[in-house]
Amino acid sequence: MQGASRWLWAVGLILLSLAWAQVREGLDLGALNAFKARLEGEVAQGRLPGAVFLVARHGQVVYHEAVGYLDPQTRSPMTREAIFRIYSMTKPLTSALALALAEEGRLSLTDPIHLYLPEFREAKVGVEKPGPGGQPTLELVPASRPITVYDLLRHTSGITYGIFFDSLVKQEYRRMGADAVDQTPEEFLGKLSRLPLQFQPGTIWEYGNSTDLLGHLMERLTGKSLAQLLEERIFKPLGMADAGFLVPQEKQSRIAEPFAIDPLTRQPTPPALDVRRSPKRHSGGAGAVATALDYYRFLQALLNGGELGGRRILSPKSVALMTQDHLGPLYLPSLQRGAPYLPGPGYGFGLGVAVRLADGGSPLPGTAGDYYWGGLFGTYFFVDPKEKLIGVWMMQNPGGRTYYAQLFRSAVYASLR
């Protein structure tokens, strides 16, 4: 009898240890394994080219996996070291750099941008008016106040993109090729300074070239390229070994590629950013590359209050400033006019990231104060300071970016124990 009790006790310990091994830092690894298996099914169905995803909690990387193909054309396997075009996930990096320069007194968030870029002193706003035959015409009116650095950071400058819905101003952006990365900084600034604003500065959140303009402002301020500034101030201190604006030849075999035909739209995938040669200009809004681990290190530094491994990139107060809402009611007009308010229900916007306003009000799982952003070709991250939780999702699949970002986020929160 005593031997049987000992046997049962030993079995119980084994079962307990196995159950404990399935939970690390309060995350259920079994649930994350099930999510990985689902992704492998998505790859087999031809819906997902490949992906790398990383989950960290309490400062520890708990799960870091790769599925599918690095390049669906050659069917080379995806690896955790894959390098991704992160597109708009460049924006938080550029925003953090601006806050670092502000800490040193190199610039102030309330500065008019024409102090650094005088070509933007006489900004005009495009107002659509009824024209002959009911066709709208574009009337230019003076900006009611100067665009500030703060406006660039929170996307209230009135500067837009030529994509995402349509307007007469956006048509002018497309006609002039204002969004193109394949132009020099001087060409970009010259075009943007001549184009009208979509809205009066400070009145509405309007996603656009604000962060690109911010990057070129810092280049003019410092006399260094944005690539140099980010390398010196963020990438090198944080050990982001593969982050940058150019993938050197010896690393180009690690670049993740999209489908030739988007499985959602059944249309050819738009040409991906050429990261195998030096760009004519460094796009602070869309031009960087990184691995999942690189970007995690940046996010962990933010979650730590601005430092990682004893290297500080920002003060805790600057991180707090970056990750709090700066819109107040300004996002409401965007919702009412039907334009794309990308942060979504329940979210305001900080300085480069969307910020959750309350525990309710959003269809996505999360916590008040969490923040996130994503990139055009399907990269995505979120940080939940209250849960000490970070998620990084990397893929090159523009048609599936919303679906997979939400799927990933839901799976990570479902794994919390």
Q: Looking at residue 231, what DSSP letter applies? A: I
Per-residue confidence (pLDDT) for residue 21, from 0 to 100:
63
- Closest alpha carbon to 55 in 68, 64, 42, 46: 64
Mean pLDDT of all residues in 357-380: 96
Quickly list H helices, 252-343. Answer: 292-303, 316-322, 331-336
Phi and psi torsions of 6, nearest 5°: -65, -40
Q: Which residue has the tokens 């990750």?
A: 323
- For residue 94, what are its two tokens? 């550029």
* Residue 13 in this model has a pLDDT that exceeds 80: no
In one letter, which amino acid is 363?
A: P
Q: pLDDT of 259-284, one tens digit each?
A: 999 998 899 999 999 999 999 999 99
Cα–Cα distance measured from residue 402 to residue 280, given in angstroms and rounded to the nearest whole number: 30
Whether the pLDDT of residue 388 is over 90: the answer is yes
User: pTM here?
Assistant: 0.93
Contact 350, 372 (CB under 8 A): no
Quick one: fold of 26-97+224-414? Beta-lactamase (3.40.710)
Residue 16 has pLDDT above 50, yes or no: no
In the predicted model, is pLDDT for residue 256 greater than 80? yes
304 pLDDT tier (thresholds 50, 70, 90): very high
**Residue spans of alpha helices (H) in 72-184:** 90-103, 149-154, 168-176
pLDDT band at 62 (very low <50, low <70, confident <90, very high): very high
Residues 175-202: tens digit of each pLDDT: 999 998 899 999 999 999 999 999 999 9
Task: Give the span between the Cα atoms of 216 and 326, in whole angstroms.
Answer: 23
Q: Give yes or no for residue 6 having a pLDDT over 70.
A: no
Structurally, at CATH architecture level, domain 108-222 sits in Up-down Bundle (1.20)
Give the whole-angstrom CA distance, residue 176 versus residue 192.
9
H or E element that contains 51: strand 50-57
Q: Residue 160's closest CA among 173, 144, 150?
A: 173
Cα separation of 229 and 231, whole Å? Answer: 5
pLDDT at 164: 79
Give residue for tokens 């003076």.
142
Q: Do domains 26-97+224-414 and 108-222 have the same CATH topology?
A: no
DSSP state of 148: B
For the chain, the domains span 26-97+224-414, 108-222
